[in-house]
Amino acid sequence: PPRTDVPNTASAHPGSPCGSASAKDSVEWEGRSLLKALVKKSALCGEQVHILGCEVSEEEFREGFDSNINNRLVYHDFFRDPLNWSKTEEALPGGPLGALRAICKRTDPGPVTIALDSLSWLLLHLPCTTLCQALHAVSHQDSCPGDSSPVGKVSVLGLLHEELHGPGPVGALSSLAQTEVTLGGTKGQASAHILCRRPRQRPTDQTQWFSILPDFSLDLQEGPSVESQPCSDPHIPPVDPTTHLTFNLHLSKKEREARDSLILPFQFSSEKQQALLRPRPGQATSHIFYEPDAYDDLDQEDPDDDLDI
Amino acid sequence: MFVELNNLLNTTPDRAEQGKLTLLCDAKTDGSFLVHHFLSFYLKANCKVCFVALFQSFSHYNIVGQKLGVNLTVARERGQLVFLEGLKSAVDVFFQTQEEPHPLQFLREANAGNLKPLFEFVREALKPVDGGEARWTYPVLLVDDLSVLLSLGMGAVAVLDFIHYCRATVCWELKGNMVILVHDSGDVEDEENDILLNGVSHQSHLILRAEGLATGFCRDVHGQLRILWRRPSQPTAQRDQSLTYQYKIQDKSVSFFAKGMSPAVL
């Protein structure tokens, strides 16, 4: 059975009632499927899930979910007319941030997950500071004094398209998230690099290979799946490249012994030291015969006489 | 249209998917052959086509279209093709009376915030005619090219919003298709163009990227085409969705072959 212990933002660590996670994707490794898988997980845990949908239509987002999941999803549609160009009264007042605040002011005490699809859209249309303040307010809403209604925990999931923003805004949003998932992969197998930040603890990171099943359940894997790696053909026997050579690559036993016992010429051993220090026994056994010809000048005087050797 | 490209994309005019956004981009080469392909493809598919042509004149597209078997003049007269000739109508902005906002109204305004007039032109062009019999299969928006809007002073976010609204209307509401060309500036640091290109990439279902060869110009291989399928409705549908081919453009066709398999070198 597939393991499902991906850090679940709904089960934020004790001590803080809310958790937030951001998923960073790229053009090649899209993140909406993962977002939908996490939304499904939250819905199956019994939470109500609010989706601020700015990038895809409600039908497209709900596609693939069965009815018991869809009943738990509330889709706030900012896809059809986000900038109110149609000038009708249908536009949701206050825009996406207004909707965000309205969700948090709800009276229902149950836990709630908010999925932002996408953070990139919000970041392109709102000042970064406004967005960060709104997100911060969402995750710390229980700390406002004077609020008597017991509000359940709020978890926030945000999808961010990393290539669209500079490092400043991305860093600011990352600092608000407890868990950051960066999508990548190789050769058809997707991976998630998960960075968890907990207060008063060191951040932990891990890389998890995964795939998403057609019903948007998450299937965690140990590594890139074997089928995606090229497999060698078992029917071809390995070929020995040393056959049919014109030279000998092998040594016989005697040759090997002779080679091992050979002293290298520049290797300094104690025998060599003794041989050098011992005076030479007897004269040199080689002679030089010299026949001077007519033009030679034989000087009997030794040119080295003046050297004091 | 180029039959070989249809084969690579596994599509024909009569069984093309609907509701899709296709992004064409070119880097260090001219990707306009892809624009001509899709223009003739959708005209042959009997679609109602709105062509926002900002880069070339009508006669240019017409001449190339005739080589590919479509007649733009006839299509325009029949009402199948709505053609916004950017080069000509940009001048009209200044000499036309101001009753209704011109699609390229932003050229007049010092601080044009958005491309709403252009979007309304597109919506008007492609809205289904009620009362009449359905002459056309589905609507198609073609834009050549989006980078021109950046050069004319629009911000990347404003252009992305225009694409967003077009996608909501053409792809989602009217179940039509969109084909958009964006140039990739490559090494030249153009942040606005990068945001535009990446933003449209994230919204696309199919990305066709024409690149020049890394080793430079070649007589027999004009470039390389990368095909990337995105946003499948089923998340596990073939994950291995990126293909690369090299191509050579001829007078009336384009031939595609696997990398290194150009007939000239085999």
pLDDT (tens digit, 9 = 90+) per residue, B10-28?
A: 889 988 889 999 999 999 8
Tell me how close the Cα of B140 comes to any Cα of chain A, in angstroms.
Answer: 18
> Strand B242-249 to strand B223-229: parallel, antiparallel, or no bridges (unpaired)?
antiparallel
Question: Cβ contacts (< 8 Å) between A184 and chain B: which residues?
Answer: none
State the Cα–Cα distance between residues B82 and B126, nearest whole angstrom.
8
Question: Cβ contacts (< 8 Å) between A65 and chain B: which residues?
Answer: none
Q: Which pLDDT band holds residue A242 (cuts at 50, 70, 90)?
A: low
Angle in degrees, 0-180, between the axes of helices A167-176 and A128-139, rounded to the nearest 10? 10
pTM of the model: 0.79
pLDDT tens digit sequence for B66-99:
999 999 999 999 999 999 999 888 888 878 776 6
CB contact under 8 A, B236 and A211: yes
Least confident of A103-107, A153-157, A158-162, B181-185: A103-107
ipTM of the prediction greater than 0.95, yes or no: no
Residues in B whose CB is inside 8 Å of some CB of A read 114, 116, 119, 157, 160-161, 164-165, 168, 172, 194-195, 198-199, 201-203, 207, 228, 230-231, 233-236, 239-240, 242
For chain A, count helices (H), then strands (E).
9, 9
Whole-number mean pLDDT of chain B?
A: 88
Question: Cβ contacts (< 8 Å) between A229 and chain B: which residues?
Answer: none
Does position A12 have pLDDT exceeding 60, yes or no? no
Question: Cβ contacts (< 8 Å) between A127 and chain B: which residues?
Answer: none
Helix H or strand E segment including B64:
helix B58-67
Cβ-defined contacts of A59-62 (< 8 Å, 24+): A59/B172, A60/B172, A61/A36, A61/A117
CB contact under 8 A, A164 and B195: yes
Residue A228: closest CA among chain B residues belongs to which residue? B240
Share of chain A above pLDDT 90, in %: 19
Tell me how close the Cα of B156 comes to any Cα of chain A, in angstroms.
Answer: 10
CB contact under 8 A, A28 and B228: yes
Interface test with A, best of B162, B174, B202 (most A CBs within 10 A): B202
CA terminus-to-terminus distance, chain B:
27
